[in-house]
Amino acid sequence: MADDNSQKWYRLIFGKIFNEKVRSNILQALPYWIASLLTGLLAVLYTRLFAWAETLSLSIISAHSWALFILSPVCFALAWYVVKRFDDKAGGSGIPQVMAAIDLASPKYNYLVDKFLSLKTIVVKVCSTLLMVMGGGAIGREGPTVQIAGSVFRKVNQLLPASWPKISKKNMIMTGAAAGLAAAFNTPLGGIVFAVEELAKTHINYFKTALFTAVIIAGLTAQGLLGPYLYLGYPDISNASGYLIFFVVLVACISGFMGSIMSVIILKVLNWKRSLTQKKYQLLYVLGCALLIACIAYFFGFGILGSGKAQMSRVLFTNDKHVGWGLPFFRMIGTIAAFTTGAAGGVFAPSLGAGATIGALIAELFKFSTANANILILSGMVAFLTGVTRSPFTSAILVLEMTDRHSIVFHLMMAALVANLFASLVDKHSLYDHLKDRYLKEAYEEDIANKEKAAAG
């Protein structure tokens, strides 16, 4: 009888503990699920708006090429003004801002994190990027989607009542960024690797379940609305030559080096721009960048315009692999000009586009077959993106998932690692690391100024 009573108490106590643990786990997971669903919905809407703006811009310019000299300056100026007037932390890519927010994620700097991730940031980011791409800016939506997703996860975390089980603010932001990238490219593995390699840079043991589920939910939401699409498609890589690996290394060396050079130029221009303290001079620079892009597009072709996805699709899925010597440099110039205006816009897609043109150029010079040329193009994409981000595994996995070409995983990984090595010869740190440090420095300076002002008051 005593044993029966002991078993009853045992089941009662441990059953209650088990139920409490399940309840706590569900309550902790629920905010991630909700934020992931919202991220997927926003990513789909943003994708469609971005594609619409890019298509409309190209249709106008194709019909009336002279309109570019009006459309670009007006759109660039408006995109710059929206950021300057309403949220200066919404400019640029968005990934360095998220990285800075992760470093600042503590009770002491909560108000500074809000400056990087907020509902206002989402609105300004979307409006500025749409204006930029309307004007022909060589920008992408993937970096902005990361900041948008981080803002969504941040807001959901803030709305939780005080009685809710505590959730790490830092983990919430990192998970949001990974979900955003996964939804933007429809690349779940890329989102996970991105979180580990670029954001966390440590093990993910404490938030791995939340990370995996967030990426899955955001990705499935985007896929459910847009369909089971690949960002690029299925390029022909059949019957590739065995000796091609040597040319993959060549393309990786050039693309990784050029990606790092582009990053250094962007940083130098941004440093120089800081001397332009008056808004009228800043506006003149923005207009100058717009006219530069318009002139190149008008006299040398429209390949400089937009995210670069059109160029990637052309060289991968048609027999027209011709790019000429100028297009790789024009793509780099377009990205530098658009990014340094201070308006919103990412460098992920433009970097992939620039790398694709380098791979196509090498393939054209050596008169490779379609399959061999496509492998070099994909390797150039991976290598150039690695040169900019210094995230070789993220770059390789992203391109692998965009094309579903698993048989060339060795070629892509080789391109990423070689590119990372050659990019390090130019600069040991990525563009994102430098920009993150700049944002952090500005944030800490603002915090010190606020404390001094409060003490004086």
Distances (CA, A) of 30 to 27, 120, 148, 167: 5, 24, 19, 11
Confidence at residue 180, expressed as pLDDT on a 0 to 100 scale: 87
The answer to whether the 31-71+85-133+140-226 and 244-439 domains have the same CATH topology is yes
Instruction: List pLDDT tens digits, range 247-268.
Output: 999 999 999 999 999 999 999 9
With a CB cutoff of 8 Å and minimum separation 6, the contacts of 375 are 237, 240, 244, 248, 408, 411
Which residue bears the tokens 């250094």? Answer: 264
> 413 has which bridge partners?
none
Instruction: List pLDDT tens digits, range 168-180.
Output: 888 888 888 888 8
Give residue 320's Cα distance to chain centre: 28
Confidence at residue 18, expressed as pLDDT on a 0 to 100 scale: 52
Question: Contact at 8 Å (CB) between 95 and 316?
Answer: no
Q: Does the domain at residues 244-439 carry the CATH identifier 3.40.50.1820?
A: no
Give residue 397's Cα distance to chain centre: 14
Residue ranges covered by each domain of the chain: 31-71+85-133+140-226, 244-439
Confidence at residue 227, expressed as pLDDT on a 0 to 100 scale: 61
Residue numbers of the chain with a pLDDT score lower than 70: 1-23, 198-220, 222-230, 457
The total of other beta-carbon atoms located within 10 Å of residue 151's CB is 31
- Amino acid of residue 207: F
Does the pTM surpass 0.85? The reply is yes
What is the C-alpha separation between 318 and 239, in angstroms, rounded?
17
Selected from 2.60.120.10, 1.10.10.10, 1.10.3080.10, 1.20.1260.10, the CATH number assigned to the domain covering 31-71+85-133+140-226 reads: 1.10.3080.10
